[in-house]
Amino acid sequence: MKIIVIGAGMIGASLTWELTEAGFTVTLLDASEAGKGTSANSFAWINSHGKPPEAYHRLNASGMQAHRDLAKRFGQAPWLNLTGCLEWQAPAEQQAMKDNVARLQSYDYPAEWISAGQLQQHEPEMHLDGTQGAIGWFSSEGWVDTQQYIHLLLQASAAEGAKIVTGSKVMEILQDGDTVTGVKTADGTLHRASLTINASGRWSDKPPYLGQQATQLAPTTGILIRVPAEYVPVNHVLATPMFHCRPDGEGVTLLCPNEGVYDIDESTPQSRIDELAADIILKAAEVWPRLAAIRPEQYKARMGIRALPVDGYPIVGPTPGLAGYYTVVTHSGVTLSPLLARLVTQEIKGKPAAELEPYRPQRLRKG
Ligand SMILES: Cc1cc2nc3c(=O)[nH]c(=O)nc-3n(C[C@H](O)[C@H](O)[C@H](O)COP(=O)(O)OP(=O)(O)OC[C@H]3O[C@@H](n4cnc5c(N)ncnc54)[C@H](O)[C@@H]3O)c2cc1C
């Protein structure tokens, strides 16, 4: 069976690998380079830390387990960094954090309290002022180097026969009556397939997706600041009152202001992003004093745009009344991608996945 996957981000790369492993003939098409969409501008924390309700929490916890399983199946997983996560909150948020930890413990999710002294052992360079209250430790969490993940999965897929075509924008979804039969790319090539999968992330609600082919998104934005690790020497994922932060590979630390701290959207110019980055650097210097000496040319700030469905939950499944077409679009796609790829492959092989029932595309089309 021939399958076209549109989009070579975390989701498309995971699908390509899993479907190829299962024996399908896969063509992956991307308008740009592989991995350069939202997956390149993500905090990429694998977690199920604050993802209500319980069914969605469990989906993400299974996503974390799927990362571990994939690492074993793949034989090596240099992209997977299971560092654990430390969290503390401003006084006004400390009760909410206590409630969250209690809820996570009731789900048997690894979540415990540690002392400020223990935190200091984990992160010796950090400066705390004593107002952080209780500190949460989430040992099963970590982060993914999305570029390594995508590159290595696509390399392995190509070695098994998948066709990976980058710089090839899909301009039209081809339909014969109520059946999708393939796509047309910008160079005029017609690619025919029994199944076409929309894994285009934040572009999945725009042309070439028309009518019931399109998703319903309400994207939000975030700022990612990459600084030399010598200024912010961290060993774990840290969730702090103003920002999240984690190591980002050799010699680099990633800082990400928390959602809602700054009011930005897709139209915010880079000059404004740079101003806001300078502000967060100033605030982060209270915790990492060495940052006070950093110069603007030593760090880089970028905007990331979330592929956020209107109700916040994944959109996964076929579209009723439209044969040969399937959608896989979600936020938290770094955490979820190996699991979704496995469940979607199972569905395409003929066995519906009960875990995906709450996330079918038609729920957003009601009314
Ligand atoms: C600031 C921020 C922080 C985040 N933090 C986390 C986190 O901590 N943990 C987590 O799990 N998730 C996080 N996410 C979400 C996560 O990054 C995304 O869910 C995930 O990267 C989406 O992957 P994707 O493959 O769906 O999309 P993308 O990586 O955007 O890939 C889609 C691809 O489709 C291609 N494409 C689009 N249109 C076409 C077309 N017409 N023809 C051909 N190709 C096309 C694009 O070129 C692109 O390469 C975060 C996101 C942001 C923005």
User: pLDDT digits over 287-314, tens only?
Assistant: 999 999 999 999 999 999 999 999 999 9
User: pLDDT digits over 12-44, tens only?
Assistant: 999 999 999 999 999 999 999 999 999 999 999
Which backbone phi and psi does 245 adopt, to 5 degrees? -155, 155
Q: Sign of the C-alpha dihedral, residues 278, 279, 280, 286?
A: positive
Cross-strand partners of 317: 327
Both tokens of 134, joined, read 């209780």
Q: What's the mean pLDDT in 51-74?
A: 97
E strand segments, the chain: 2-6, 25-29, 45-46, 80-81, 85-87, 112-114, 135-138, 142-144, 163-165, 170-176, 179-185, 190-192, 195-198, 221-228, 237-239, 243-247, 252-257, 300-305, 315-319, 322-329
Domains identified in the chain and CATH numbers: 2-67+146-216+311-364 (3.50.50.60), 83-141+219-305 (3.30.9.10)
Residue 76 pLDDT greater than 90, yes or no: no
Q: What's the mean pLDDT in 335-364?
A: 98
Ligand 1 atom nearest to CA at 29: 43
CB atoms within 10 A of CB 350: 6
Question: Tokens 């339909």 identify what position?
Answer: 175
Q: Which residues line ligand 1 (CB under 6 A)?
A: 6-12, 29-32, 36-39, 41-45, 169-170, 199-203, 208, 222, 224, 304-307, 329-335
Q: What is the pLDDT of residue 131?
A: 76
SS (H, E, C) 261-305: CCCCCCCCCHHHHHHHHHHHHHHHCCCCHHHHHCCHHHCEEEEEE
Q: What is the pLDDT of residue 14?
A: 98
User: Using CA atoms, how far apart are residues 318 and 361, in angstroms rounded to an integer?
Assistant: 7
Q: What is the pLDDT of residue 261?
A: 82
Q: What is the pLDDT of residue 366?
A: 64
Residue 212 pLDDT greater than 70, yes or no: yes
Ligand 1 atom nearest to CA at 36: 49
Helix 146-159 vs helix 10-21: crossing angle, to nearest 10: 30
CB atoms within 10 A of CB 282: 11
- Indicate the pLDDT class of residue 260, thresholds 50, 70 and 90: confident
Q: How much is the mean pLDDT over the chain?
A: 96
Residue minimizing CA distance to atom 49 of ligand 1: 37
User: Using CA atoms, how far apart are residues 308 and 281, in angstroms rounded to an integer?
Assistant: 27
Mutate to test the pocket of ligand 1, among 255, 334, 335 (most ligand atoms within 8 A of CB): 334
CB atoms within 10 A of CB 139: 13
Question: How many helices and strands (H and E) does the chain possess?
Answer: 7, 20
User: pLDDT digits over 142-184, tens only?
Assistant: 999 999 999 999 999 999 999 999 999 999 999 999 999 999 9
Residue minimizing CA distance to atom 2 of ligand 1: 42
